[in-house]
Structure 1
Amino acid sequence: MVCQDRKYTIIALAAGLLLITAASCKKTWEDVPLEQFTEEYVWDVEDSLGVKARGFLGALYKFLPEGYNRLGNDLLDAGSDDAISSATGATDVQRLSTGSFNSINNPDDQWNTCYSNIRKASLFLNNFHKVPLNIKMADGSSAKKAWRAEARFIRAYSYFELLKRYGGVPLMGDEVRQVNDDLALPRNSFEEVVNYIVSECDKAVDSSWQDPIEDSRYGYVTKGAVMALKARTLLYAASPLFNGGNIEAGNPLTGYTNYDAERWKLAAEASKDLIDYNKFSLQTEFKKIFITPGNREVIFAKLSGNNKNVETNNAPIGYASAVSQGRTSPTQELVDAFPMGNGLPITDPASGYDPNFPYANRDPRLTYTIFYNGAQWLNRSVQTYEGGLDKPNTNVQQTRSGYYMRKFMGAYESQTGYSDIPHPVMLFRYAEVLLNFAEAQNEYAGPGQDVYNAVQAIRERAGLNPFQLPAGLTKEAMRQLIRNERRVELAFEEHRFWDIRRWKIAEQVMNSPLHGMRIDVSSSGARTYTITQVLAAKFRAPAMYLFPVRYDEVAKNPQMKQNPGWE
């Protein structure tokens, strides 16, 4: 469960950062061989700039979630009802969408990764006091508090990643166990893990730790990121899967053993606190959120160097000037979730939806999220009709649904090729906070004006006209509207996979076939649109609402209980 310790603290993950730091020094020799960083070397009592400690802390960021194409070259969303993998053979992510995984071959098992980061964060928190850091923040306060808050956040975030996958897990606290210690620990309850994450967030959000949100802090944990983690954790805790819908009644590891509406109130208050913090706002243009560094919608993002990876992995395949793999095929279910430009769902007779022109006059976010037939890209129209340049029906990897993913990519509509641009992974952004608040407040108190305001702000930014919601919506009607708004606004950001679980609707949406659009063009140019099945998804309830605990953890630890329905 945890890494074994040695006499010396080995910090392999930080080596790259320390090498970069060393390059700026005049010395041409090493104080200590890089393969043997001792505790004394890292927690240097004379290092007033905290160079070595910063390298250790910086390495923790590396193992935060990657986001794009991280599961065997696929997005996690291709394991939900929003997309499928374009690969024709068996894929890791398809095991998630068809239920063909277990405690040995779970492609999204994050147990070891999270506990490794938890251990390293605790090492930092237990030893950083030795470093005489003499760096000030923009407000004049010591950076020491901010650095400790960063480590505390990363540790709490790792526990959240475990919580949403497995339920209750062993809590280590500040303890860093040694190889000779008793490592056969039982799982803590779901409630205890939630309370621990919230407590750690509260400790990190100290009134003396300022959060000026300067460009120099972009990509670092800030007070806003900590508040966002607390709000998301409480939202999950209040959700049906854990709050009243426990998959095994009376089992404290898999959720609360009772329903309590006050949990929704706590979640709403946590999101409202972040809204009232007034440091973040919606980016004016939806498509610029993901390619404009430092915009005020981004609460916390994992950074990487400029690249063209999202485009080459996921854009349409038929462009000789810019080779792409077209790895992600969005489903018809996701496309149909986008309303018309007037805000009405396509199923509403008054919406103006025309099945013979299915992409006309739609929510502008559709164009910025999904490539459909006729969309503009690299100076020509995308051709996903049968035999088109982007769906040639040859043995090359291509869309299986008639769609490609567009989101997160640069503005290449009129260009002839790709260039290296930022592709930060959005771990928290303000639109999610508004939707978190709207959902929790609606569940607790019904659709008041504050709920309307939060949802309408997002719809207005999207460009819907009118963006206003119908007056007098019931709680149930608002619930469905908010859930759909989350789906289209946060598509491909690793929310849908978890949302359908925490809402406890995965057994409905993932036990139904997933579809795409076949487009045939006649000799006269007439187009025929036919919805076709592209994948027979499968969800085994109730077991698949939580992941199985790794087989080796259960096998070696008699106190480690497996989740219901798994071996």
Structure 2
Amino acid sequence: MKKYTSTIRIMTVLAGMAMLGGSCTKHLLDQPSSMEVDKEVFWKTDADALAGIMGAYADVRPLFDRDYYFDGQGEYVRVRGVSAAKDDLQNGGAYAVNTGSSGFSPSGFGQQFDAMYKYLYGGVNRTNYVIDNVRKMLASGSNVSVPKLERILGEARLLRGMVYFRLISMWGDVPYLGHTVTSNDEVVSLSRMPIAQIKDSIMADFTYAIDKLPARSDQVGRAAKPAALAFRGKLQLYWASWNKNGWPELSTFKPSTAVATAAYQGAADDFRHVINDFGLDLFRGGAPGVVGRLGRADTLPNYYYLFTPVANGDGEMVMAFAHGGIGTFQGEELMRDFAGRSHEGSQCWVTPRYEIADRYQSTITGDFAPKMIPLNPSTVADARTRLNSAVNPQSYANRDYRMKASIMWDYEVSVGMASLKSTGWVPFIYKTWAQPFVIDGETFLTYNTDGSNSGYVFRKFLRNYAGQGRSDGDYAFPVMRLADVFLMYAEATNEVNGPQADAIALVNRVRLRGNLPPLAGSKTGTKDAFFAAIEQERIVELLGEGHRSFDVRRWRTLEKNWNPPGGPGVWRIDTWGAQQQRYFQNTNDRAMQQCYIFKIPQSERDRNPNLTQNTPWM
């Protein structure tokens, strides 16, 4: 009989260590590898432990710094593929490389994350390696600074907690590894631990980190106390959501209203500390900045710059993973994924869907504007000038400033780039790829974005300056922002006590960055109305950052957002009115259930007969 080897990536502790880079931490790039030195001479000094935690950050970063792909499982972002994986097989990219398909789609995604499962366990083992060795150093007490080591141990436990949080949010019950694994024999017979027990272990990791991390980090990319508090609050918020809304696809989980209430309260308490006790503020004070003229991009709102390296180290970035930029082999690939070929040959893997435009509210009324009307300019003579036409640039005037900062529509421009130099302004004209186009008497070459099928492309995450290749960015990607904390706090307190004045004020602060007026009384008068307002802000504020699919699953709103099982499905269209993709057509109950929980990889079950399967996948 063939002896199988578990694909859980225990070998990450044996691999060469990648270095963490960042605009303010270049000296960290010179740290020695903790994997290439015998442990008898390593793990002896503070410097050794620092090198070890930097390796853990570098190994865990690829599990989170492309979370934007997850937005393709929601209603407002299309993911048509994934970049070639550079840092091993990043995020969900592995299954796309292996199968030629993308699981980042609104439906049918629950069985396509086998590779992510094993790479998440690689992150677990990498952090366990640091935890085990730093604990030994603390026990010996020689040649070490206890506070420095406890900080590093807190960072490692925060990272481990984040990885396990991701695992349970996707698969529910999973095996738990609390120590470094060096042999596959240790994992081939593990059973799945109940989610409640793993949640308690994650809570313990986050609580230790809260106790040992500094109030403010001295280096971009290293976590501080607010990050641990925010993640503990988020874990409790999710735990509350699962207990309130149920998780029937996880057969071992029994929801409890009392547990939900306590968890919402615990989440609110943690978020309140983050908001009030560390002097944190929104980027540029949450001011909207200047929106600039339609069809121009020389002046953009502050929200746009939040997603450029200008914001690295800003107080809004409660937790971010640093990148090294040019020549470090640690650059982010945001431009490659979000931009088109006119920007250093980028590939436009991630684009806005048509439906997101109607989510941006009026700066005049503070409410939704009349819905866009899709019109084909090649057959409708006044399509470019008709009121509310999706291809009339004037239809986008007086909208939430985050619209101009996040997406581009016809006649909006960006800076083209080739060979690290600017090629000047390139206007986006849907279905007109890299063609001469005259605007106000001046000829431009249009933006080549053949990856878009909606009539929109992203401006968010798109660099507005030349000098870096598509894979050489140095932006510190946020996995926890203060604006998200504001909105999660509002959600938690609303669940317990209904709309509260402080929560309403925080939501209004998030809205202010879009130059929107405060919420009307009708939006805050009831618990349900305020929740809808919070959800609205989460959609536009966190667009393209990977939160939407996790929200709709914990809220159990897939059927509401699309249609009940057995229905005709929902077409996604473009600004010309053409039907592009149809989702959830004749979906049966089981297929819908499979969107709420992920399939335990069959390859793992073949290797380990003790691994049970989630109910919808039996």
**Do the two structures share a fold, i.e. TM-score over 0.5?**
yes
How does 1:170-181 map onto structure 2 within 5 Å? 170-174=175-179, 176=181, 178-181=183-186
Aligned AA for 1:404? V
Normalized against structure 1, the TM-score is what? 0.81
Aligned-partner residue type, residue 255 of structure 2: Y
SS at match of 2:283: coil
Q: How many residues align?
A: 519
User: Which residue, out of 311, 315, 322, partners 2:335?
Assistant: 311
8 A Cα contact 1:67 1:425, kept in partner: no
Question: Which amino acid in 1 is paired with 2:305?
Answer: K
1:335 shift after superposition: 1.7
Matched, 1:482 2:534: yes
Q: 1:204 to 1:133 in 2, by over 3 A?
A: farther
- Residue pairs, 1:435-474, within 5 angstroms: 435-464=487-516, 466-470=517-521, 472-474=524-526
Which of 78, 85, 91 aligns to 1:84? It is: 78
Offset at 1:314? 2.3
Distance 1:225 1:516 in 2: 39
The percent of aligned pairs where both chains have the same amino acid is 24
Within 2, Cα distance between the matches of 1:34 and 1:476?
52
Counterpart of 2:209? 204
Whether contact under 8 Å (2:410, 2:430) holds in the other structure is yes
Deviations 1:204-240 (A, max 9, x none): 211x6432333xx22012111111111111111111x
Shift of 1:5: 7.7
- CA deviations on 1:487-520 (whole Å, 9 max, x unpaired) are 10000100012111111112333454353433xx
Does the 8 Å CA contact 1:177/1:183 hold for their aligned counterparts?
no
Gaps of 5+ in 1: 26-32, 519-529
In structure 2, the residue matched to 1:191 is: 196
Aligned residue identity for 1:59: G
Over residues 250-274 of structure 1, what are the superposed CA-to-partner deviations in whole Å (9 max), with x where a residue is unaligned?
x235x63666333222222221121
Q: Which amino acid aligns with 1:211?
A: A
Extract unaligned runs of 5+ from structure 2: 1-5, 21-26, 83-94, 285-301, 327-331, 373-386, 416-423, 438-444, 564-568
Alignment partner of 1:261: what SS? helix
Superposed displacement of residue 174, structure 1:
4.2
Quick one: structure 1 residues 384 and 514, their matched pair in 2 at CA, closer, same or farther if it must change by over 3 Å? farther
Alignment partner of 1:344 is 2:347? no
Q: Please report the TM-score for the alignment, with normalisation by the length of structure 2.
A: 0.74
- Give the match's secondary structure for 2:479: strand
Aligned to 2:376: none
- Kindly tell me: are residues 133 and 166 of structure 1, through their superposed partners in 2, closer, same or farther at Cα, counting changes over 3 Å? farther
Deviation for aligned residue 1:135: 7.0
Cα distance change of structure 1 residues 496 and 102 upon mapping to structure 2, 3 Å threshold: closer
The one of 211, 217, 229 aligned to 1:213: 217
Corresponding residue SS for 2:170? helix
> 557, 564, 572: which is aligned to 1:515?
572
Is the CA contact (8 Å cut-off) linking 2:7 and 2:604 kept in structure 1?
Answer: no
The AA in structure 2 aligned to 1:467 is P
User: How do 1:233-244 and structure 2 match up within 5 A?
Assistant: 233-239=235-241, 241-244=242-245
Aligned equivalents of 1:380, 1:277: Cα separation in 2: 44
2:40 aligns to what SS in structure 1? helix
- Aligned partners of 2:352 and 2:454 also within 8 Å: yes
In the alignment, residue 85 of structure 1 is paired with which amino acid?
V
Distance 1:182 1:162 in 2: 16
User: How many angstroms does 1:374 deviate by?
Assistant: 2.1
Q: What's 2:167 paired with?
A: 162
Distance 2:432 2:264 in 1: 51
Q: Please tell me whether the aligned partners of residues 185 and 557 of structure 1 are also in contact (alpha carbons under 8 angstroms).
A: yes
Question: 532, 550, 562: which is aligned to 1:498?
Answer: 550
Letter of the 2:244 counterpart: N
AA of the residue aligned to 1:121: T
SS in 1 for 2:397: coil
1:354 corresponds to which letter in structure 2? Answer: N
Distance 1:423 1:297 in 2: 14
Contact 1:370 1:406 in 2 (8 A): yes
Structure-1 separation of matches of 2:34 and 2:229: 37
Q: Shift of the alpha carbon at 1:338? A: 1.3
Residue 408 and residue 135 in structure 1: after superposition, are their counterparts in 2 closer, same or farther (change >3 A)? farther
Matches within 5 A, 1:83-482: 83-86=77-80, 94-97=102-105, 99-100=107-108, 103=111, 106-107=112-113, 109-131=115-137, 142-174=147-179, 176=181, 178-181=183-186, 183-206=188-211, 209-214=213-218, 217-239=219-241, 241-248=242-249, 251-253=251-253, 256=255, 260-284=260-284, 285-291=302-308, 292=310, 293-306=312-325, 309-317=333-341, 319=342, 322-342=344-364, 343-347=366-370, 354-355=388-389, 357-378=394-415, 379-380=424-425, 382-387=427-432, 389=434, 397-412=450-465, 422-464=474-516, 466-470=517-521, 472-482=524-534
Q: 1:555 is paired with a residue of what secondary structure?
A: helix
For residues 544 and 348 of structure 1, what CA distance do their matches in structure 2 show? 29
Deviation at 1:330, TM superposition (A): 0.8
- Which amino acid is the alignment partner of residue 76 of structure 2? D
The aligned residue for residue 51 of structure 2 is 55
Q: Which amino acid aligns with 1:190?
A: I
Quick one: structure 1 residues 296 and 102, their matched pair in 2 at CA, closer, same or farther if it must change by over 3 Å?
closer
Q: Does the 8 A contact of 1:79 with 1:497 survive in 2?
A: yes
The alpha-carbon deviation at position 4 of structure 1 amounts to 8.7
